[in-house]
Structure 1
Amino acid sequence: MSTNTNENKDQFRQPDHEHDHFLLTTVVGSYPKPKWLNRAKDLYEDEESDFDDENWREAKDDAARVITDEHERAGLDVVVDGEMRRNEMVEFFAHRIEGYEFNGPVKVWGHNYFDKPSVVSEVEYDDSWLVDEYEFTAAASDRPVKVPITGPYTLANWSFNEAYEDDDELTLELADLVNEEIEKLVDAGARYIQIDEPALATTPDDHAIVGEALEHIVADIPDDVRIGLHVCYGDYSRIYPEILEFPVDEFDLELANGDYEQLDVFKDPEFTKDLALGVCDAHVADVESVEQIEENIKKGLEVVPPEQLVVSPDCGVKLLPREVAYGKMANMVQAARNVEADLDAGEIDIEHGAPTPADD
């Protein structure tokens, strides 16, 4: 893991970036799937259809190109393919790890289900999980590509454990597998990896095992590879400042949905990592104005200086209407560029971590 987070972040600055300041813009991961991709999936799963493996693969490739291009058109500095090949964040990986099996769908909220897996034997790494996905996206885009990976704590916590003494042991075993996958991604050219641990904020007393797992994950990873940790929702005061000890470059946090009520949590002690601040609410199907997002970005400047700030939506936006998701991304990028211009012009003073108008 890099010890120079500024240099680590600046590698993603576009050559034609027009401002001296640089607020990296990206997405957390998931994005609404084109409606035709869902119809293609139905055809593929219909035993009476002749929509075969080759057709299904082509449909997913086309969707990945479309969404990657959509991220570029929105102006994002770092893109993702919107996880077009993934179904659910645990189920997708469990299908690719030896030792898991599936026993049918489990309701998670409302009318939503996922196929909750069971760990029935020792977990083992077989074929790569994401290298093909990364290489395809990198070839389809001129922008740097971020790779989100569901973290080992969530993979363990959101599964039935029938093989290990406890979830901590399973978590560390899975962390070693994640490390193997990241090494292959790095060899393929990936330089931005995001570990998703939504389970952490719901069981915050387990931050110690998450930190230990991250130590396994980043072992022998080169310094120029950016490692982020995404933790959505929950009571952050129960994991801060302990998470500052985690061996990552940035923390990606969901704060817009709570109207930044937890922002003060991160002001004392000093936030020493990069902050990937959620500035668009992924749970609201309205497009925030550029002006509103600018104000949200400035809230991040109350916690960290500009060189430590990354701008993203709160969480994955896959449940939003696609036109809303795009509108949020495009306005988010424009807002970030406007704040950069204001910083360059000296119109935002940052004193003691609190941004104020320069003429106040």
Structure 2
Amino acid sequence: MSPHTNENRDQFRPEEHAHDHFLLTTVVGSYPKPKWLNRAKDLYQDPDHGFDEDDYQEALDDAARLITNEHERAGLDVVVDGEMRRNEMVEFFAHRIDGYEFNGPVKVWGHNYFDKPSVVSEVQYTDSWLVDEYEFTAEATNRPVKVPITGPYTLANWSFNEAYEDEEALAYDLADLVNEEIEKLVEAGARYIQIDEPALATTPDDHAIVGECLKRIVKDIPEEVRIGLHVCYGDYSRIYPEILEFPVDEFDLELANGDYEQLDVFKDPEFTKDLALGVTDVHVAEVESVEQIERNIEKGLEIVPPEQLIVSPDCGVKLLPREVAYGKMANMVEAARNVEKRLDDGELEVRSAQATADD
């Protein structure tokens, strides 16, 4: 029997896909930067060196092509440029939003510092943040490209608020700006957008605020554009099942790091959205075997049927050694293809597709 289809997800299925079943493979976003790119940045920031803006831009372009190609070589169905042009996930966007300013690094833990921005006036959208990045990546590959965007709740929560009555009001204004940016990305051809909200894991009681932000974000966005939400490791029982009401197509969850101890959280009530399951642990600098990743993928099939499953690392892999990051991706893709074949051959018992409100 042919597997069910999932049109929003299957638009990213390769034309020559070898199996009837399809487990979309992708990454959350970040990837280790080549050491020479960090060196290029140092030279660019050195006023006594002749390494100018054009030189640095060429280095960024080369790195983006290289990592996009590395994702292709690993076999990923949907690629990202590894966020080669980005530094920190809030700082990058704050530099591009009117109303933010920077007053120097803030110590966050140990010897780690974060250049935490302040919102000093009403936030406003001027120029696009990511369209150039998306268009460059799309030109560098013949595979679909996913665009990760830091979500408005995290942009508000991880900033000093000196202009708004409260963080909630700031988050809603930022959500309207994210909506404008996604409209620009859609015009440029983007069809897969991921909203990153790591702050939700640390403040789960604010899930209603995140839900309202997402409603503003997806306003007037075409249905064929896939919207995902990435939430880092936390106590998911505090946001489930409420998050099923969020207007997104998929949830990207960090479960490998906790050895899937929270898997049962998502079994009751039924998980009605698509699940982007973390199947490699980005906190461990060792490459999991293909067999181990296959077992991890099977964990996802305990929650959703195959047509609702996406396979990815737990989170961004930027802190791993580059060869480890690549090994995890390549093994992940091989494991997904092996599981697809076993599904085709009827070797795996899986849940049947659930009826949705639209059926």
Answer yes or no: is the 8 Å Cα contact 1:228–1:248 preserved in 2. yes
Residue number in structure 2 paired with 1:120: 120
Shift of 1:109: 3.1
Counterparts of 1:255-334 in structure 2 under 5 Å? 255-334=255-334
CA distance in 2, matches of 1:282, 1:5: 30
Structure 1 residues 45-65: Cα deviation after superposition (integer angstroms, max 9, x where no partner): 111011100001000000000
Q: For residue 141 of structure 1, what is the amino acid of its counterpart?
A: T
Answer yes or no: is the 8 Å Cα contact 2:301–2:351 preserved in 1. no
Answer yes or no: is the 8 Å Cα contact 1:65–1:81 preserved in 2. yes
SS in 1 for 2:349: strand
Give the TM-score of the pair, scaled to structure 2: 0.96
CA distance in 1, matches of 2:63, 2:73: 15
Counterparts of 1:1-360 in structure 2 under 5 Å? 6-351=6-351
Q: For residue 163 of structure 1, what is the amino acid of its counterpart?
A: A
Q: For residue 298 of structure 2, what is the amino acid of its counterpart?
A: K
Identity %: 84
Structure 1 residues 126-177: Cα deviation after superposition (integer angstroms, max 9, x where no partner): 1000000000000000100000000000000000000000000000000000
CA distance in 1, matches of 2:33, 2:299: 31
Shift of 1:110: 3.4
Answer yes or no: is the 8 Å Cα contact 2:304–2:351 preserved in 1. no
Give the TM-score of the pair, scaled to structure 1: 0.96
CA distance in 2, matches of 1:351, 1:155: 37
CA distance in 1, matches of 2:229, 2:107: 26
Answer yes or no: is the 8 Å Cα contact 1:5–1:274 preserved in 2. no
Q: CA RMSD in A?
A: 1.1
- The alpha-carbon distance between structure 1 residues 253 and 102, as it changes in their structure 2 partners (threshold 3 A), is same
Question: What is the aligned residue count?
Answer: 350
Return 5+ residue gaps in structure 2 as ranges.
Answer: 354-359
Shift of 1:350: 1.6
Answer yes or no: is the 8 Å Cα contact 2:8–2:225 preserved in 1. yes
- Structure 1 ranges of 4+ moved more than 3 A: none
Shift of 1:114: 1.8
CA distance in 1, matches of 2:351, 2:184: 43
CA distance in 1, matches of 2:261, 2:46: 47
Q: For residue 6 of structure 2, what is the amino acid of its counterpart?
A: N
Answer yes or no: is the 8 Å Cα contact 1:201–1:235 preserved in 2. yes
SS in 2 for 1:326: helix
Shift of 1:112: 2.6
Shift of 1:232: 0.5
Shift of 1:107: 2.2
SS in 1 for 2:233: coil
Answer yes or no: is the 8 Å Cα contact 1:195–1:229 preserved in 2. yes
Q: For residue 10 of structure 1, what is the amino acid of its counterpart?
A: D
Return 5+ residue gaps in structure 1 as ranges.
Answer: 354-360
Answer yes or no: is the 8 Å Cα contact 1:25–1:310 preserved in 2. yes
